[in-house]
């Protein structure tokens, strides 16, 4: 088992915080919610009754383990299973246990932006499945995509669970899918989760729980700026606000300043002012239907082979091939 870390993440954090806070309107990327505290908060979110996504996808994988596993299998040459945004691996472990117990020849490569998450997952897998061949890595998606082309000696399956694609606007999603496609060969598969359009209130509740955990998760990006970049944000002076447009399927999260203020971030030599009720856009969570996913796939020169869904059709995992 091996784990690689990427020190350039600190530089990316500085660069993107500077760009986001000097933009109009202001924004900060949701990928920076995640550190040791953010990881724990997201674990708490996934356990909330309002947050249906995790259980829906877990049920899909649990109820279709054999079908998914055998779709992935290559009996002749074996395979590489590469997961982008692996997190705690709870859902993936269901598949890993099936594959390990049914004589699959494979390497599992989990990749996540959170060094804490990667280390925890690698250590847990070493204890739970010591015979598993794991090659873990810390990194951002777009940094990793070029290296995927190097996995060309045998079949690979790229997994993107948790509707991570939903954090991208459509044009960025097409760019992401296109880059994934560029790293695929004819027999490779892309297994990706897409949260589906549904009752708007269900979606709003999932991102705005009454216990305030999602608010704390969003505000963790401000806490990280304070700790890592010498910022003096006062998170209590911001409120978390969620919106959902059922026409476009776009949910958006904001931090809203409750008073005018000035904030300094020493390590990027930045002082930024906020007007009362000014916003920081922190996250997009796109929702989909079959027609939209089909359109995205066509734009990226991918084809949908099949999909799996939960009992309520709240969520779908699509399987793509390169055209």
- pLDDT tens digits along 165-210: 999 999 999 999 999 999 999 899 999 999 999 999 999 999 999 9
Given the structure tokens 């061949």, which residue do they identify? 133
pLDDT at residue number 105: 96
Q: Which of 190, 246, 226, 192 is nearest to 57 (CA)?
A: 192
The share of the chain scoring above pLDDT 70, in percent, equals 97
CATH number of 52-196+288-322: 3.40.50.150
| pTM of the predicted protein model | 0.88
Report the pLDDT value the prediction gives residue 3, as an integer from 0 to 100: 38
Q: What is the DSSP track for 257-275?
A: ESS-EEEEEGGGTEEEEE-
d(CA 293, CA 289): 6
Q: What is the mean pLDDT of residues 48-58?
A: 94
- pLDDT tens-digit readout, 146-173: 777 787 889 999 999 998 999 999 999 9
Question: Would you say residue 293 has pLDDT above 90?
Answer: yes
In angstroms, the CA 3 to CA 122 distance is 8
- What does the pLDDT read at residue 8? 46
For the chain, give the longest Cα–Cα distance: 64
The Cα-based distances of 246 to 108, 170, 174 in angstroms read: 37, 15, 21
pLDDT tens-digit series, residues 220-268 = 999 999 999 999 999 999 999 999 999 999 999 999 999 999 999 999 9
pLDDT at residue 116, rounded to an integer: 86
Residue ranges of the domains in the chain? Answer: 8-48+200-286, 52-196+288-322
Q: What pLDDT shows up at residue 147?
A: 77
For the four alpha carbons of 158, 159, 160 and 163, in that order, the dihedral sign comes to positive
């Amino acid at each position: 088992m091996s784990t690689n870390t990427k020190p350039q993440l600190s530089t990316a954090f500085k660069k993107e915080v500077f760009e986001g806070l000097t933009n109009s309107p202001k924004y900060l990327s949701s990928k920076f919610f995640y550190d040791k505290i953010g990881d724990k908060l997201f674990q708490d979110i996934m356990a909330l009754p309002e947050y249906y996504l995790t259980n829906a996808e877990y049920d899909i994988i649990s109820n279709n383990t054999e079908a998914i596993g055998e779709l992935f299998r290559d009996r002749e040459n074996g395979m590489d299973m590469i997961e982008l945004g692996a997190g705690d691996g709870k859902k993936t472990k269901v598949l890993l246990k099936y594959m390990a117990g049914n004589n699959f020849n494979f390497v599992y490569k989990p990749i996540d932006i959170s060094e804490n998450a990667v280390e925890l997952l690698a250590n847990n897998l070493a204890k739970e499945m010591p015979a598993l061949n794991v090659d873990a890595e810390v990194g951002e998606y777009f940094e990793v995509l070029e290296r995927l082309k190097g996995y060309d000696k045998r079949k690979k399956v790229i997994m993107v669970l948790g509707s991570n694609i939903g954090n991208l606007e459509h044009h960025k999603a097409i760019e992401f899918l296109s880059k994934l496609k560029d790293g695929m060969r004819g027999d490779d598969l892309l297994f990706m989760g897409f949260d589906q359009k549904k009752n708007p209130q269900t979606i709003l509740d999932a991102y705005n729980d009454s216990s305030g955990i999602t608010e704390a998760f969003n505000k963790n990006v401000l806490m990280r700026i304070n700790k890592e970049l010498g910022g003096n944000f006062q998170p209590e002076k911001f409120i978390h606000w969620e919106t959902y447009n059922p026409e476009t399927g776009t949910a958006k999260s904001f931090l809203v300043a409750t008073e005018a203020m000035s904030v300094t971030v020493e390590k990027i030599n930045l002082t930024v002012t906020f007007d009362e009720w000014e916003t920081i856009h922190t996250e997009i969570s796109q929702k989909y239907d079959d027609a939209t996913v089909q359109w995205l796939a066509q734009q990226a020169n991918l084809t949908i082979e099949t999909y799996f869904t939960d009992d309520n059709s709240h969520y779908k995992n699509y399987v793509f091939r390169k055209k």
